[in-house]
Amino acid sequence: MSIKFICKKCGLCCKNIHMVEQLYDYHNGDGVCRYLDQKNLQCKIYEHRPIICNVEKSYEFYFNAKFSEDEYLKMNYKGCDILMERENKKKEQEKEKQEKEEKDETLENVALSGINQETVQRYGSAIKEHIVSYDGIDNETGKKLSKGLESVSKSKINPDYKEANIKQQAGFSAEIKETARENAERIINGDKTRVSRTDDIGNINDQLHDHVVLDRNGNPIAGTASQMKFVGKNPEELLDKFVSQKYDKYIKDGCGLEIPSDRYDGVKEKIQEKIAGLQKQLKYIKEQGKSELILKKQEEIEKYQKIDKALKKSNVSTIEAIEARLNPKLSTIKDIAKLGHQAGKATAKNGAIIGGGISTIKNISSVVMGETDVVDAVVNVGLDTGKAAAISYGTGFAGSVIKGGMQNSSSEILRGLSKTGVPAGAVISAIELVKSFVKYFNNEIDGTELIEELGEKGTGIITSGYSAGVGAVIGGTLGSAVPFIGTAIGGAIGGVVGGIFGYTVNGIIYREAIMALKEVKISRERREQIEKMSELCIEEQKRYQNMIKQYAEEQYKNREVNADTFFKNILDSIIKNDVEQYISTINEFGNSYGLKLKYETYEEIDEFMLDDTLALKI
């Protein structure tokens, strides 16, 4: 036999045996031969393979009377080319689908970054207060504090009075930490007033007051001054000191008395015990007619009552004050981490709601189009919701910490960037860039494509950060002026729109720049082909939209929920800042197509996010 077929060993013919009648029993309905080693594309029964799988023998048994050897070989090679062409087309389609999914995921991540922009800004500014408390320098305002936690920790100690010295210095650390914690809380809550140590506004060594509240213009507010006292070994000793003559000046002044958070309840309890005991004594004295002692007992009762009224629970405990003195860096890191965690939980809620909503809409479309079943769609919604919550948590935690550091940076450029969406976009940038490197190391893209992706994603997300920052400011301004919206929700919407807009616009500009560098002159015929393809794409898009609409109308014509109502209600819930309406609208729409969200109310989401015993599974 002179015929000789040169096999490329691609394995494609072995993956398409459903088209060969003689091999009907050799596959499991998927067209792939069960004897094909998928790893090395080798036949496991090569020496005993069916005759139809042997080109030379199949010619002899089936085709020698119908075709010449040359014709037969050409037909086989043409068959190989057709299979290869189909395979390449299939791979190209899969690649395009994957790229589209990655692009959609990136845009969703940018959207999450945008909606979390306002939260990151608030918590980041709060974190900055703790950084200032450690350094003692506010680079944003150019103000230098009289003391910072770091400088207090370097205070001299007399070896003979080590414990007493540390306790005294811990009092200064407590004042500084109280100021940072109180101001951080006010920033988070949108309160424009600030607490200041009297030493930091020029009243050095004020004998009566340690703290005072300042209005938004930096002026002390009357009646807000307070004295902080971290004294005594227990609540009883602390109260005894307040009652002593040495502390009469604070009682007469009427200022607030800040005491350690761990001593507050104990002192309040002791005061009530003292008052109750004195009232019994007063009653007995009155019964005995000892008028000369009545006034004295009444004054004692009034003194305890004044102390009780003046008491304020500090944000700092005795142990925390000592820790701030001995290890100020660790103490500051703990506060920063705590606020970062709070920011993460707040942004995770946003992510769960928005991510779940987007996923529900996408999966409803997939169910309607028959691309997935209801069970898989529900699973997808759950996974997407968890993933969005996790990414948002990372955005909130890391973004707010980065924002705080940038805001108090000595670099004016970094301080300026801290007001944009760059801090919130940092986590998204890291995620997206790592994904590009993974694709590169898995040989899915080459070096040139890696550089292109890094350039587009990097500059795109940075641009989206700027746009999200501007969008958040504009949205917040409009939100504060328009009823029912509010600054927070306005800023969130502005952040989303600005982020997506910035990323999309930058992506277009960047790709066009790359194309301009690569592109060679395109012939007139080629340009016409591209224009024709574009027209077909537009028509295909219209056909696809009409097909969904027609299918939905035919299959679900008896359902009350429709797309127009759905999007109208979604927009209405955003304008009203009504989270419950937002969630219920998505639930109603999803339920009409057989989908059900894991969390149906904001309270359920909130309960999940606040429960530290539950793990977020992705």
pLDDT tens-place string over residues 415-462: 887 887 667 666 666 666 556 666 666 777 665 565 556 555 444 444
Q: What is the three-class DSSP state of 523?
A: coil
Residue 164 has pLDDT above 80, yes or no: yes
The answer to whether the beta carbons of residues 272 and 239 sit under 8 Å apart is no
Give mean pLDDT, residues 86-115. 75
Among 135-139, 317-321, 469-473, 535-539, the least confident range: 469-473
The answer to whether the beta carbons of residues 153 and 177 sit under 8 Å apart is no
Give mean pLDDT, residues 458-482. 43
Residue in the structure block whose two tokens are 């760059």? 422
**pLDDT at res. 131:** 95
Highest mean pLDDT of the ranges 221-235, 356-370, 383-397, 474-488: 221-235
Residue 395 has pLDDT above 60, yes or no: yes
The answer to whether the beta carbons of residues 210 and 255 sit under 8 Å apart is no
**pLDDT at res. 129:** 96
Which tokens in the block code for residue 17? 């045996």
Q: Count the Cβ atoms, other than its own, within 10 Å of residue 31.
A: 15
Of 558 and 11, the one with more pLDDT: 11
Residue 492 has pLDDT above 70, yes or no: no
Give mean pLDDT, residues 378-393. 83
Residue 570 has pLDDT above 60, yes or no: no
Its sign, for the CA torsion 92, 94, 97, 102, is: negative
Residue in the structure block whose two tokens are 């990136």? 106
pTM above the 0.85 mark? no
**pLDDT at res. 257:** 94
**pLDDT at res. 494:** 44
Residue 616 has pLDDT above 70, yes or no: no
Which tokens in the block code for residue 210? 């340690």
Residue 77 has pLDDT above 60, yes or no: yes
Give residues with Cβ within 8 angstroms of 43, minimum separation 6.
14, 33, 35, 36, 37, 49, 53
Q: Residue 537 — very low, low, confident or very high, per pLDDT cuts 50/70/90?
A: very low
Give mean pLDDT, residues 163-175. 94
Residue 85 has pLDDT above 60, yes or no: yes
User: How far is it, in rounded angstroms, from Cα 251 to Cα 273?
Assistant: 19
The answer to whether the beta carbons of residues 114 and 496 sit under 8 Å apart is yes
**pLDDT at res. 4:** 81
Give mean pLDDT, residues 17-36. 88
Residue 506 has pLDDT above 60, yes or no: no
Highest mean pLDDT of the ranges 517-531, 532-546, 591-605: 591-605
**pLDDT at res. 417:** 76
**pLDDT at res. 498:** 44
**pLDDT at res. 601:** 57
Percent of the chain with pLDDT over 70: 66
Please give the radius of gyration of the chain, using alpha carbons only, rounded to the nearest integer.
36
Residue 474 has pLDDT above 50, yes or no: no
Residue 228 has pLDDT above 90, yes or no: yes
Helix (H), strand (E) counts: the chain: 20, 9
Give mean pLDDT, residues 483-492. 41
Q: Residue 604 — very low, low, confident or very high, per pLDDT cuts 50/70/90?
A: low
Give the H or E element holding residue 194. Answer: strand 194-197
Its sign, for the CA torsion 96, 99, 105, 106, is: negative
Q: Residue 385 — very low, low, confident or very high, per pLDDT cuts 50/70/90?
A: confident
The answer to whether the beta carbons of residues 282 and 305 sit under 8 Å apart is no
**pLDDT at res. 20:** 87
Which tokens in the block code for residue 113? 């970054």
User: Considering the chain, what is the average pLDDT of its residues?
Assistant: 77
**pLDDT at res. 112:** 64
**pLDDT at res. 313:** 95
**pLDDT at res. 291:** 79
Of 1 and 283, the one with more pLDDT: 283
Of 76 and 603, the one with more pLDDT: 76
Residue 72 has pLDDT above 50, yes or no: yes
Give mean pLDDT, residues 355-375. 78
**pLDDT at res. 559:** 47
Highest mean pLDDT of the ranges 24-33, 266-275, 546-555: 266-275
pLDDT per residue as tens digits for the range 267-312: 999 999 999 999 999 998 888 888 778 889 999 999 999 999 999 9
Cα distances from 109 to residues 386, 391, 468, in angstroms, run 13, 8, 13
User: How far is it, in rounded angstroms, from Cα 357 to Cα 344?
Assistant: 19
